[in-house]
């Protein structure tokens, strides 16, 4: 999935587009994303190929596309959507925290990694998350499934 969501795109626009683990959602992505520092225009074939090569570590399933947006890959639609949702939430917290001008309380690396591993092992969290969102849409009479 590729989106230009507001907070992740704001992160992509910063000179330092790394997402420090300042909250639990941010820990989810600790050492699990890549930053593309070489925006090269629209992702036609050559640019798309260049970006795809940045996914060289199977643990890293999020790309912050500098000056562009984000690209998320996953094993299933639910996995991919879940990563997209929580990455945007982590970016939102980080951008809002930056706006205060106060020093950030960054979670230590060992705790961030421990948290990321715990979240990776959380059984069926992604599928349940997507199922609940679909249930809400169904209750609201949405026609997304047709």
Average confidence (pLDDT) over 61-87 = 95
Cβ contacts of residue 97 below 8 Å, gap of 6+?
22, 104
pLDDT at 91: 98
pLDDT at 129: 93
Domain ranges of the chain: 2-139
In CATH, what is the architecture of 2-139? 3-Layer(aba) Sandwich (3.40)
Give CA 9 to chain center in angstroms. Answer: 11
Alpha-carbon span 32 to 4, nearest angstrom: 19
**pLDDT digit string (tens) for 12-71?**
999 999 999 999 999 999 999 999 998 877 777 788 888 899 999 999 999 999 999 999
pLDDT at 44: 77
pLDDT at 16: 97
Q: Which residues on neighbouring strands pair with residue 69, listed in sequence order?
A: 65
**pLDDT digit string (tens) for 91-138?**
999 999 999 999 999 999 999 999 999 998 888 989 999 999 999 999
How far CA 145 is from CA of 74, 129, 134, 135, in Å, comes to 21, 17, 9, 11
Give CA 18 to chain center in angstroms. Answer: 11
Burial class (CB in 10 A: 0-12, 13-18, 19+), 132: exposed
pTM of the entire predicted model: 0.92
Q: Do residues 47 and 33 lie in contact, with contact meaning Cβ atoms separated by under 8 Å?
A: no
Q: How is residue 30 written in tokens?
A: 């600790």
pLDDT at 146: 84
Q: Where are the beta strands (DSSP E) in 12-110?
A: 33-36, 62-65, 69-72
pLDDT at 144: 87
pLDDT at 105: 98
């Amino acid at each position: 999935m590729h989106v230009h969501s507001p907070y992740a795109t704001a992160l992509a626009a910063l000179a330092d587009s790394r997402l420090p683990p300042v909250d639990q959602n941010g820990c989810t992505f600790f050492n699990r994303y890549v930053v593309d520092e070489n925006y090269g225009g629209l992702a036609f074939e050559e640019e798309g190929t260049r970006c795809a090569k940045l996914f060289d570590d199977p643990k890293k399933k999020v790309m912050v596309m500098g000056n562009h947006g984000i690209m998320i890959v996953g094993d299933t639609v639910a996995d991919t959507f879940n990563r997209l949702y929580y990455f945007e939430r982590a970016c939102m917290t980080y951008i809002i925290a930056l706006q205060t001008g106060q020093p950030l309380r960054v979670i230590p690396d060992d705790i961030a990694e421990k948290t990321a591993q715990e979240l990776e092992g959380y059984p069926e969290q992604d599928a349940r998350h997507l199922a609940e969102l679909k249930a809400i849409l169904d209750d609201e009479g949405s026609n997304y499934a047709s």
